Structures are given as C-alpha cells and as structure tokens.
Amino acid sequence: MNIISKETSDLIINIGIVISIIGSIIVMKRAKAKLTQEEVSQEPLTNDEKTKVWILALLNPIWTDVILYFGWKKSLPIKARNANLTCFISLGVWLILSRLIGFPMSLR
C-alpha cells in the first residue's frame, strides 16, 4: 500500500534531484574557491558544510555523492570522504523509508 501517489512521488523525486544537483555544485565550488591552484587541504567539513551536505544527501544521496566526492577528491580529500560517508548513511535512510511508507526507490 502506497501512501503517496505515483505522480506525486515522481514530482518529489525530480524536484529533489534538481535541488541536490544545483546545491551540490554550489557547495563544492564554494569550498574549492577557498583554495589556491593545486593546493590540497586536509580540513574536515565545517558545521555549515555538514548541514548542507546532509540536507542535499537526504534529497538525493546518489547525485550529491557523485558531485561532491569526485569534485573534492583531489583537492579536499577529507571533505570528500566525509561527504561520501554522509551520502551512504542517507542512502540507508532512503532504503528504510522506501520499505516503511512505500516511497519509491527510483533515485535515477
């Protein structure tokens, strides 16, 4: 039994995808803008960045992970690893929600 209709869930997923892609690109570029060319930073995510990554990952963990991890992998490896872990945890939340309320697992 699904609580949410197919059309409504598709709309929610599509909006989440768009917001997570645009938001992830903005968060990634702002963090990288603080570095000089070819500089590698070993700093972890700030509290503000953690909040943004969690929100974006809960909207769509796959696209958020792809954008942030591969965008930060070379110049911000610790932030990339933290974002990757956050996205894996939020993917687990998606799986649990899909079983509990019938929310579709179509993350595209």
pTM of the predicted model as reported, rounded to 2 decimal places: 0.82
Place of tokens 């939020």: 90
Question: How many Å apart are CA 81 and CA 75, to the nearest integer?
Answer: 12
CB atoms within 10 A of CB 68: 31
- Render pLDDT for 21-77 as a digit per residue (tens, 0 to 9): 999 999 999 999 988 888 888 999 999 999 999 999 988 899 999 999 999 999 999
Q: What are the domain boundaries of the chain?
A: 6-32+41-101
